[in-house]
Amino acid sequence: MAAISIENEAERNYVFHLLKAKNSDLNNQGTESTFKAIGKAVLEDVLVPQISREEQQKCIDMMDFLESIIRERKTQLASVVAYFCYILFNIHFFMIFIVDEYEKVGVKMLLYHYFDKKTGPFKNLSDLSDEEANRVLLAIKAEKPDTMCAKRQDSYIADRRRFESILRREFQLKGGIIEREAPHYLVVGECPWLSSWFEDCDYIVIDTADLDLSTISFTYGDSHPTFSDRVNDGKEYRKKLYTYDEIVEVIKKYGLPQDWNPDGRYGPERYVEAHVWSDRGILNR
């Protein structure tokens, strides 16, 4: 435009709008790569329709009006884009917050309790005296010899008491709340193998959200081999009892034993055992 000198303002505005409309064509003829230089010769080749000043003013007014609409729409579009960017920004950080809170709480954990329908759930041998418990065990061996429960060793009750004392001591050291002498036993997730322990098996599912987590301890695998002196393979979860938050991390690392060791081929751990040291949320099932 520096090469054009038009004294009349209306004519100058008319030519300005005309050249602006031809912006793309003029740029194609410009030189330099970053900032296009439009020479006088190029401008002199531009055909300018010869119309009356009245018609020129109409064109100018129309172009000014269209440009004002375009500017307004660009402003509105910028506001819309800014709004959506704001929404996306907040969604992004909301998702980060949700993921962070989800990781703090841990995965949704369902506890399964398997039992024989004839006896009912949460019939705990540990709630009986040694004499009564051994009598029940002998009756199972006599009446249901093909079940897993019937294959327990003669020293099972004494062994069970010993391992439960270890669980109790370890949980107390971790600040766990103990409201029962012996815990109720459950497992994390469904474990089809446990169905074979009973002639007429059934199970109850309890969400940990319905329990007081400070009353639950865990072992990665059955507590007996976990704390047995006979199992010394160096795995990190041997001889260890975990709180809820701790077992969540162990499960994230190793998965559930029933998924990768359903037949016990890779060790004695075939489920994650949960010990609920309270009747709250249990006996009302």
Q: What is the DSSP string of 159-216?
A: HHHHHHHHHHHHHHHTT----SSS-EEEEES--GGGGGGSTTEEEEEEEGGGS-GGGE
Q: Mean pLDDT lowest for which of 48-62, 133-147, 175-189?
A: 48-62
Helix or strand holding residue 45 (H, E): none
Cβ distance 126 to 160 under 8 Å? yes
Residue 125: DSSP 8-state: G
Mean pLDDT, the chain, as a whole number? 83
Q: Is 226 helix (H, G, I), strand (E, B) or coil?
A: helix
Q: How confident is the model at residue 40, as a pLDDT?
A: 60
Distance of alpha carbon 91 from alpha carbon 76, whole angstroms: 22
53: pLDDT strictly greater than 90: no
Confidence grade of residue 84 (pLDDT, cut at 50, 70, 90): confident
What would the pLDDT profile of 137-172 be if each residue is shown by its tens digit? 899 888 888 887 778 898 999 999 999 999 999 999
Neighbours of 266 (CB within 10 A): 11
Q: How confident is the model at residue 106, as a pLDDT?
A: 47
Instruction: Give me the mean pLDDT over the 245-261 stretch.
Output: 97
Distance of alpha carbon 98 from alpha carbon 55, whole angstroms: 63
Could you give the percent of the chain with pLDDT greater than 70? 75
| CB-side neighbour CA atoms (13 Å) of 42 | 17
**Distance in Å from the first CA to the final CA of the chain:** 87
Close Cβ partners of 262 (under 8 Å, ≥ 6 residues apart)? 192, 193, 270
Q: What is the CA radius of gyration of the chain?
A: 40
